[in-house]
Amino acid sequence: MSDHSITSEAERRRTFAVIAHPDAGKSTLTEALALHAHVIQEAGAVHGKAGRKATVSDWMEMEKDRGISVASSALQFEYSPEGHTGEPYMINLVDTPGHADFSEDTYRVLSAVDAAVMLIDGAKGLEPQTLKLFRVCKARGLPIITVVNKWDRPGRTPLELVDEIVTEIQLQPTPLFWPVGEAGDFRGLARINADGEAEEYIHFIRTSGGSTIAPEEHYTPQEAAAREEETWEAAVEEAELLAADGAIHDQELFLDCTTSPLIFASAMLNFGVHQILDTLCQLAPAPAGRASDPQVLNQSGSSAAVDSFRATDAAFSGVVFKVQAGMDAHHRDRLAFMRVVSGEFDRGMQVTHAQSGRSFSSKYALTVFGRTRSTVEAAFPGDIVGLVNAGALAPGDTIYAGKKVQFPPMPQFAPEHFRTLRAKSLGKYKQFRKALEQLDSEGVVQILRNDLRGDAAPVMAAVGPMQFEVMQARMQVEYNVETVTEPIPYSVARRTDKESAAELGRQRGVEIFTRTDGELIALFGDKWKLAFVEKEHPDLTLEPLVAD
């Protein structure tokens, strides 16, 4: 394929993640977006958690039982906005876990997308996990589209929510679709033009349970005023007030993460959903090239040995952001989710693993829609591809064709929770070892070992305790291994080196482990013990395990 064709294919891609606090409606929105793109006929969420069907993007039994997402899920589909006459856009949508215990998985996803939809509960406003994820987006330079969800339920005023966003995270929302009707009385949306004026009223009609696309009626401002009277006038006045304060969309400021297009919606009722898709297609950035890891460039000794920057129209390259097994009981395989960074990926092509220098064939490549998988023949920058049984690949790895490129690694989060793990039955030790190796390589938890505890009872290190539940559940379901865990008296981890480890090992309340990647990790009983050791032995190497 010509470079021009690769460029045009990249330009029609939109790759984004949905981020939010737990229970803000991420998975429901994901399905609503797929519904509006006509890739499913009926949304999987119905009123009430007790009667809720599992959404397409939630495939793990634990997710279905609890009604939450605990793993990221990739969906790909084509979509044409209203009035669009060219080729449809190719949407790569990644639904992320909202629970704080799975922040590391979300962080990996954010390294593989070009924009984010920040979903906010209209009654609760900004919540702790939303704030944390926003800061990650800001640090990565990801443009953000803000969606206030659940506007069909009683909640706060729209101006109050805008003020909170400006005050708490210094992000200026710029209304594109403003609500007509207060929270709990969602009648429709006022489309706001480039001057901050309401130019159209979009009235929504409810459908049974919100399981199908909500019909729309379109009215001029004059017709809206006659139909909705004071409710329309209130919406117009609020939008004009924000416009007078400078809250008008500017594409440059949006791409600079200074402003954020704002849309009000109800994912459960399918109100305002295609407006979100249209906005993403029109405003979100297309895929861009990436720079190589500076450390690899320095080690190569020659600028000719490694590409310093890989443009989208260069030879193929991709970065693995997630590895997952057990997505389908009928396919006992391991799936590496890869974001295509540059060039054209063709199924079966020979590619090189940058970290090991080894070559392998990409014969088994899939696109993934929740648990549904189909063979992919070709993919372009921005696409998410699942590589089957690529055993050597781990999150953060680079694969490429042509001239070498190696993208920066993905930092691991600092674990705060630690438990030993062992098989309930000694007869299951072989399966236990196999499961441990697999789930460790996926990054479900970090595995720490030392000679004192042995291989039969390694230590799991996690950001949150729910990761331990996922580890045990997947060991039982996928490997038929029942496990037991026990707490250990540590809460702080630091990276150290061989020279410091000898002295640290003599300290009470400190234990030294080796992580699977070879790093030496020192565990401390608490932050006060760490502070004491640092004061008594200032020359020891003790580095935080935090994401950059």
Q: What mean pLDDT comes out for the span 189-194?
A: 96
Predicted confidence at residue 56, as pLDDT, reads 46
Question: What is residue 457's three-state secondary structure?
Answer: coil
Q: Known binder of ligand: residue 15?
A: no
DSSP result, 382-448: T-EEEEET-TT--TT-EEESSS---PPPPPPPPP-EEEEEEESSGGGHHHHHHHHHHHHHHTSSEEE
Terminus-to-terminus CA distance in the chain, angstroms?
37
Long-range contacts of the stretch 223-230 (C-beta < 8 A, 24+): 224/180, 224/190, 224/198, 224/200, 227/201, 227/203, 228/180, 228/181, 228/187, 228/201
Predicted confidence at residue 373, as pLDDT, reads 73
Predicted confidence at residue 439, as pLDDT, reads 84
Cα distance between residue 292 and residue 425, in whole Å: 46
**pLDDT tens for residues 80-111?**
998 888 899 999 988 776 555 566 777 788 88
Binned at pLDDT 50, 70 and 90, residue 536 comes out as very high
Query: What is the percent of the chain where pLDDT is above 90?
Result: 60
422: which residues sit within 8 A by CB, 6+ positions away? 432, 456, 457, 483, 484
Predicted confidence at residue 54, as pLDDT, reads 45
Cα distance between residue 167 and residue 8, in whole Å: 40
Predicted confidence at residue 103, as pLDDT, reads 64
Binned at pLDDT 50, 70 and 90, residue 336 comes out as confident
CATH class of the 290-400 domain in this structure: mainly beta
Is pLDDT at 415 greater than 70 in this prediction?
yes
Q: Known binder of ligand: residue 97?
A: yes
Q: Determine which helix (DSSP H) or strand (DSSP E) holds 2, and give its type and residue range.
A: none
Predicted confidence at residue 59, as pLDDT, reads 42
Q: Known binder of ligand: residue 143?
A: no
Rg (CA), the chain: 25
Q: Known binder of ligand: residue 95?
A: yes
Kindly report the average pLDDT of the chain as a whole number.
87
Predicted confidence at residue 320, as pLDDT, reads 93
The full set of domain ranges for the chain reads 13-283, 290-400, 417-544
**pLDDT tens for residues 468-486?**
888 898 898 888 999 999 9
**pLDDT tens for residues 128-183?**
878 878 888 888 899 999 999 999 999 999 999 999 999 999 999 999 999 999 99
Is pLDDT at 251 greater than 70 in this prediction?
yes
Predicted confidence at residue 326, as pLDDT, reads 55
Binned at pLDDT 50, 70 and 90, residue 546 comes out as low
Q: What mean pLDDT comes out for the span 371-382?
A: 85
**pLDDT tens for residues 4-58?**
699 999 999 999 998 888 788 887 888 888 888 777 655 543 333 334 444 444 4
Q: Are 136 and 221 in contact (CB under 8 A)?
A: no
Rounded to 10°, the helix 158-169/128-140 angle is 60
**pLDDT tens for residues 205-244?**
998 877 788 899 999 999 999 999 999 999 999 999 999 9
Q: Would you state the CATH architecture of domain 417-544? A: 2-Layer Sandwich (3.30)
More confident residue, 65 or 127: 127
Q: Please tell me what DSSP assigns to residue 153.
A: S
Is pLDDT at 270 greater than 70 in this prediction?
yes
Question: What is residue 296's three-state secondary structure?
Answer: helix
Predicted confidence at residue 203, as pLDDT, reads 97
Predicted confidence at residue 90, as pLDDT, reads 94
Predicted confidence at residue 414, as pLDDT, reads 78
Predicted confidence at residue 408, as pLDDT, reads 92
Query: Tokens 């405003």 label which residue?
Result: 283
Cα distance between residue 309 and residue 292, in whole Å: 6
Q: Known binder of ligand: residue 287?
A: no
Question: What is residue 74's three-state secondary structure?
Answer: strand
Name which of 381, 345, 351 is nearest 366 in CA terms. 345
Choosing among 2.40.30.10, 3.40.50.300, 3.30.70.260, 3.40.50.720, the CATH entry for 13-283 is 3.40.50.300
**Topology match between the domains 13-283 and 290-400:** no
Question: What is residue 66's three-state secondary structure?
Answer: helix
Give the lowest-confidence range in 101-105, 290-294, 372-376.
101-105
492: which residues sit within 8 A by CB, 6+ positions away? 416, 523, 524, 525, 526, 527, 529, 530
**pLDDT tens for residues 426-445?**
899 999 998 898 788 777 88
Predicted confidence at residue 548, as pLDDT, reads 39
